[in-house]
Amino acid sequence: MKNLSLFLLLCLLFAACAKDEDKEPILVTDIVMPTQTSFNPGDKVTISAQGFQPGDNFMFEIYWPLPDQPAMNYQGYALGVSPVMVEQTATSITFLAPGHYPASKTKIRLRRSGDIMTLGEISVTSGEAPKEFQLYGIVNSHSSTSYDNCIEHVNFTDTPTNIVKLTEDQKDFSCVANVPESQNLCGIQTKDGVRRVFSYDLSMRFWQDMGLENILTLCNGQSSIIAVRQISTNEMMLASIGSWPYTRNIDQTLNYRYELPAEIKPEALTRYPGVQGSSYLLLSADNGNNSFTPVVLSLNQSSTKVYTGDPIEATALIPFWTIISGKDTGTTKYVRTGGYAVVRTDDGRTDLCLWDQTTMSLKEPFATFPNSARSVTMLAQDTETMKIYVLFDTNRGGRLIYAYDLVKKDWQRVPDNYPYSEIVMAR
């Protein structure tokens, strides 16, 4: 009996120790969660407590039910997600409710010197990207219109929806590109005479300085945005902006450096965003005399070269990317390639031409339109849904958007007139 009593005592001691080990440390006290329990992505959330310290780190644990697994022990989750902090004091923290996830329960965790404490939990409504790609229009200082500078969502069957108004210091937001499937629109703003990259998060509705300076233009890449950065009088290098939402560790300097030929000035590359073809970037150099020069950057790390085509008489030379059959390249798959929208100087007509990487020249137009193009963006959801959206000038004021269907090989108008200077497809 004595041995049994000793055994039971030891079991109780071990259980108590295990329970203490599971107990979280107390890093702050008097925690007050917001009275509001449900938030939309991007809403400000404030938690009060005593004892926050300057070196404290915070993170989210996000859980959501899976449609085909409704039981609580079958959940989607994202752990260790860094919040977007707004303010931190000794007695409170304010952050933005997370976006980019389904409707979820979000735990807020405080980490200090290896110890972790749960502050509380909130509910957040869905911030997932829409299933279909969306078209956005940019009204900036280049738009030559009295319309407010802003970003709008182009509704194909209704009037546009205003997403965000551009403030006075944002009005030159231009060369807009998107990180595929990230709900981020990246563009260039000039701050104190320096061209910098800023991003607008469409899910959480906030602006972010991406930490990239002296940017000539942005390029729509296959899985990221590629920034072309000037590093000396005639030298450039590339930087990549990745697809993970609202992370600040996205300034990845790539090992690609280029020396521009003497006839191309760096500022000539700032008019239009570029695009990635397969293993190259297509840029457009404005020569300032109604002529443009195609500029091609090789993405072969063993031979980073700059190729230039012959100058083209045009009032605009706008790079675009598209998908074509790979049969000419020895594959049965579709492949990504690049081209240019060429606005002719004689009659203002726009020709859509693919770029021949072998001859370093434009191919014959595969589509034409009687108006002058201002901006081009691509939709490629699958091999049956491939459209090139083009923003055109009109003679009566305002602008039109038409989509060239690469499968049906015809132009389809998007209803309404628009004040935009740029359009971009994003999801």
pLDDT tens-digit profile of 298-313? 998 777 899 999 999 9
| Residue 6, pLDDT above cutoff 60 | no
- What pLDDT does 17 receive? 45
Q: Nearest to residue 282, comparing CAs of 245, 251, 336, 319?
A: 319
User: At 157, is the secondary structure helix, strand, or coil?
Assistant: coil
- What pLDDT does 245 receive? 56
Q: Nearest to residue 377, comparing CAs of 189, 198, 178, 226?
A: 178
pLDDT level of residue 96 (50, 70, 90 thresholds): very high
- What pLDDT does 12 receive? 47
- What pLDDT does 333 receive? 76
Q: How many residues does the chain have?
A: 427
DSSP state of 245: T
| Residue 5, pLDDT above cutoff 60 | no
pTM to 2 decimals? 0.89
Q: Give the phi and the psi of residue 210 in degrees, each rounded to 5.
A: -85, -5
CB-neighbour burial class of residue 333 (10 A; exposed 0-12, middle 13-18, buried 19+): exposed
Second CATH level (architecture) for the domain 26-124: Sandwich (2.60)
At 79, the amino acid letter reads L
Could you say which of 1.10.10.10, 2.120.10.30, 3.40.50.10860, 3.30.70.20 is the CATH number of the domain covering 134-426?
Answer: 2.120.10.30
CA distance 270 to 268: 6
At 227-253, the pLDDT tens digits run 999 999 999 999 988 765 554 444 555
- What pLDDT does 365 receive? 98
DSSP state of 346: T
Long-range contacts made by residues 280-286, C-beta under 8 angstroms, separation at least 24?
Answer: 280/338, 280/357, 281/219, 281/226, 281/228, 281/238, 282/319, 282/321, 282/338, 282/339, 282/340, 282/355, 283/217, 283/219, 283/228, 283/319, 284/317, 284/318, 284/319, 284/340, 286/317
Q: What is the mean pLDDT of residues 286-294?
A: 96
Give kind and range of the element (H or E) at residue 259: strand 252-259
Q: What sign results for the dihedral spanned by CA atoms 382, 221, 418, 364?
A: negative
Q: What is the mean pLDDT of residues 58-63?
A: 96
At 7-18, the pLDDT tens digits run 444 444 444 444
- What pLDDT does 7 receive? 44
Query: Mean of the per-residue pLDDT values for the chain?
Result: 89
At 157-187, the pLDDT tens digits run 889 999 999 999 999 999 999 877 788 999 9
- What pLDDT does 335 receive? 86
| Residue 28, pLDDT above cutoff 60 | yes
Helical ranges in 72-178 per DSSP H? none
- What pLDDT does 384 receive? 82
Give percent of the chain above pLDDT 70: 89
Which comes out higher in pLDDT, residue 244 or 192? 192
Show me where the domains of the chain are located: 26-124, 134-426
